[in-house]
Chain A
Amino acid sequence: MLRPSTSIPRRGHGPLWRNPAVRALATQVILLIALVVVIGLLIHNTLINLDARGINTGFDFLDRRAGFPISQTLIQYTSDSTYGRTFVVGLLNTLLVSALGIVAATIIGFLVGIARLSPNWLLARLAACYVEIFRNIPLLLQILFWYFAVLRSLPSPRQSISLFDAFFFNVRGLIMPAPDTQPAFVAVWGALLAAIVATVGLVVYGRRRQAATGKALPSGRIGMVLIIGLPIVVYFLAGRPLSWSMPELGGFNFRGGMNVVPELLALWLALSIYTASFIAEIVRSGIQSVPGGQTEAARSLSLPGGLTLRKIVLPQAMRVIIPQMTSQYLNLIKNSSLATAIGYPDLVAVFAGTTLNQTGQSIEIIAMTMAVYLVISLLISLLMNIYNARVAIRER
């Protein structure tokens, strides 16, 4: 005979440790206590150790005189500047090489990624070899290779490899003409800015008009003409306020012009070539993720090939590409810290290296350095998440 069992405990009646809510609370309380104890111990130990070594804490050191030179600076810097300024110089150098690297890696990565899908067997294999070689070798090794094996064995300034007598390539890096702008050049910058604003406005207006009437504006082409043309017109109207400082060989070195140090070149080359091998795979997977039927459907509507690519394939591929691309950009920025191995004065080399050695304030300096990278990472992820949310497929 069936009758309801009385042996199953009802909710809340079993032993206390069987109750999920109680267990969750207990786990969290234990975790909290463990956290507090560990952090407390760390702080306690650190204070004792700092005291024993006679290290002061605080950020006063940022105002003291640094007293060491930096080989490449984007802003005014002498060895009389403060440690705070070394931080800014290092940060700007990090951002410089990251920006250059991101542009180059994207271009190479897209080319190689598309080449991997080429119907030409030879080209596709060549691209595959590029990817397999460069992504399986440590970046640090590649940086050292470009720096010590290639750039350090270039000829001396007197035997420079020269291009049009304006670009010189030697063991001190790349020497090239430097732009020398007069005050009136501000007008050209203004024109460029105005052209960009106008183009953005045009694109927005074009989209609205197309949504309302179905007629497309060639806003891309008009924008291109605006952005290139307007500054050129203003440049001539303002009386050509730009001259070039040409490099000239005098004695044992070059005078005038702009010197791109070999450390920057090596780091830039290695970062771009290495990251491009990852970007190539992302681009390939993105394009392959678009079903072939989409292209066929576009063709059956007799859309031309370029339009199919621009309006059908790429927008869908981008959904797959963009999020992964973001992490590659972040990796590139973080990897630029390997600069310290060849002495390119980036944030880690200048600040977490030289400044830390001179002041001994390891906690403040490491914390500031890590904070910079963290802020960059979180900022970019935030922006990309916003973008991603905008382009993501909205399902019913």
Chain B
Amino acid sequence: MSSSRDMIAARPAPDQRHGVIGWLRINLFSGPINSVVTLVVLVLLVRLLWPVIDWALIEADWVGSTRQACTGDGACWVFISVRLNQIVYGFYPEAMRWRVDIVFALFALLVAWLAIPRLPFKRFVGLFALIGFPIVAWILLLGGMFGLTPVPTRQWGGLMLTLTIAAVGIVGSLPIGVLLALGRRSKMPLVRGVCVVFIEFWRGVPLITVLFMASVMLPLFAPAGAEFDKLLRALIGIMLFWSAYMAEVVRSGLQAIPRGQGEAGAALGLSYWQRMGLIILPQALKLVIPGIVNTFIALFKDTSLVLIIGLFDLLAVIQSGLNDADWLGFAIEGYVFAALIYWVFCFSMSRYSQYIERRLHTGH
């Protein structure tokens, strides 16, 4: 046996995890099965994605004002641009659309202010968004005051109606949901019982039947002669329905707060509402932000259901545009555009909630 006292010369580490090739090797071609999967997915992607890109972007027609402008083989976005005003404003009188624009601008400003953590005066802006803004928006949109021409809600439509329903639903269902959740955990049997029955009832039925109920049965419940606005009826139904879901989300947060927190508050002599408002709810709501935003997203998507009881929201306006005799055969363009709008709203909400979750994560 011979042995050498010389050091073996150093070789580079057998590490192939660097660079583009290393990345490809780890993520796409780490074994025979993986390589086959990669190739199959690649072929599928090219076969499926290329026609879509070709249709939506390359072969598409963008400019024009009539159907004759659509000569290519691809999508005809002229259909959308011609109808864009109706998609955004519905049947709101053209001369008064500046009022909607102001509300949109104010809404965007408030949302941006509240969403960006660096901006100051959060408390006042938030208070204004919850109380001041709805009043301003109501006066501007509905009119009838300060010399503004009244615009009845049956002329509302499009994206504006969708956002109105979503905003009212969100702002209304959260406080009702919190109250219901507190009621469900109450020690008073009657309060608890009423809340349990309420929550389980609304959670057990489809939103459609709630909307049907709101549109055909609410007029029967109202005192004779009282006229209920169709939009208002739908809003009541949506708020009651979603507050039950919200209640369950909040309840799960309340359950996660250790009992000692409330007991410590009681030992300091705080009343029930002080304990809830200052100690328990802030912690509980922070815990369930993902659940609350999920409910917001579901609510936003389900505003489209008002189409079924004859309100002209975003989807209904596009759907009715498809039956226009001048523009038959553009169903795909219409639906893709509507899907894009909904998707942008929902996706950004979900991303924002993930961001907030990370930001508020205090490491407990």
Contacts and interface: CB of A to CB of B under 8 A. Distances in A.
A138 B203 contact: no
Given A149-B332, A340-B208, A144 B350 contact: no
Contact of B339 (A45, A141, A356): A141
Contacts of B111: none
B114 interface: no
Contact of A120 (B28, B45, B212, B342): B28
Nearest to A348: B208
Contact of B224 (A49, A341, A369): A49
Contacts of B350: 136
Residues of B in contact with A, size category: 35 or more
A49 B302 CA distance: 31
B27 interface: yes
Contacts of A118: 37
Contacts, number: 151
A35 B194 contact: yes
B190 A31 contact: yes
Given A120-B30, A123-B38, A362-B216, 18 more contacts: A45-B221, A49-B221, A120-B37, A122-B37, A123-B37, A137-B301, A140-B305, A142-B339, A144-B315, A148-B322, A149-B332, A341-B307, A348-B206, A370-B204, A370-B205, A373-B206, A374-B205, A377-B205
Contacts of A132: 347
A136 B28 contact: no
B304 interface: yes
Nearest to A126: B41
A242 interface: no
B76 interface: no
- What's the dominant secondary structure at chain B's contact region? helix
A136 B347 contact: yes
Interface string B201-223: 10111111100110011011111
Given A122-B42, A370-B213, A337 B206 contact: yes
Contacts of A137: 301, 339, 342-343, 346
Contact of B188 (A27, A141, A348): A27
Interface residues of A, number: 53
Contacts of B38: 120, 122-123
Given A341-B307, A373-B209, A46 B335 contact: no
7 contacts: A24-B187, A45-B221, A122-B45, A338-B305, A348-B208, A362-B216, A362-B217
A377 B204 contact: yes
A341 B308 contact: yes
B208 A366 contact: no
A334 B208 CA distance: 9
Contacts of B222: 45, 49
A28 B208 CA distance: 33
A145 interface: yes
B212 A28 contact: no
Nearest to B45: A126
A340 B338 contact: no
A384 to B, nearest CB: 14
B42 A366 contact: no
Interface in A76-122: 118-122
